[in-house]
Amino acid sequence: MGVSSCHEDWLEMYNLYKDGTEKLIGRYCGMTTPGPMESNRGAIGVRILLHTDALGVYSGFKARYSFDVAKSIFGDCGGNVSSSNNGEILSPNFPLNYDSPSRGMPSKTCNWYINVRPNYNCSILKFLVLKVILQGEVVQRP
C-alpha cells in the first residue's frame, strides 16, 4: 500500500549513508509484499522500521537478505568517454544482438558517460542505428 494509506501499522525501509543521513525507500502495510528491494549506490546499509499502535497487530514480516557485489557506475556494461574529440560508442556485440540478462536476473543495464573536456561542448550526438525492442514486441530467439 502507498504511504498515504498506512495509518496504524507499517514497515519502513531507509537507505543509510556515511554522513549519517537516511533516505526513505518506502512505507508498506497490508498483506501485499513489496518487490525485491536494493540499496541505492553509495548507501552503507539499510534500516527497517516496524511501527505499530495499540489498536491491533498481525504476525509481522519475514524477509531474506543477501549481499551482492556492488555494480559499476556503468551498470553491466558501458563506459566512460573523455579523452578524444570524437568517436563512437556501441552497444555490446554490435552489430550482432546485445546479450539478454544473465540467468535469474530480471534486467541488464548499460550506461555510457560522455564527459566534455574543458572549453568544449558536446555539440552533436547522432545515433546512426537504433534497434531495441518495443514494449510488447515478440522476438524469436535462436
From residue 88, give the alpha-carbon distance in Å to each of 67, 73, 97, 116, 135.
36, 20, 18, 14, 27
Phi then psi for 130, rounded to 5 degrees? -140, 115
| pTM given for the model | 0.50
Shortest CA distance to 107 belongs to which of 5, 31, 33, 38? 38
- How does pLDDT run along the chain (142 residues), one tens digit per residue? 444 577 778 888 898 998 999 999 888 888 877 777 777 777 888 888 888 776 766 777 888 777 776 666 666 677 777 767 777 888 888 888 887 777 777 777 788 877 777 777 665 666 777 777 655 555 554 4
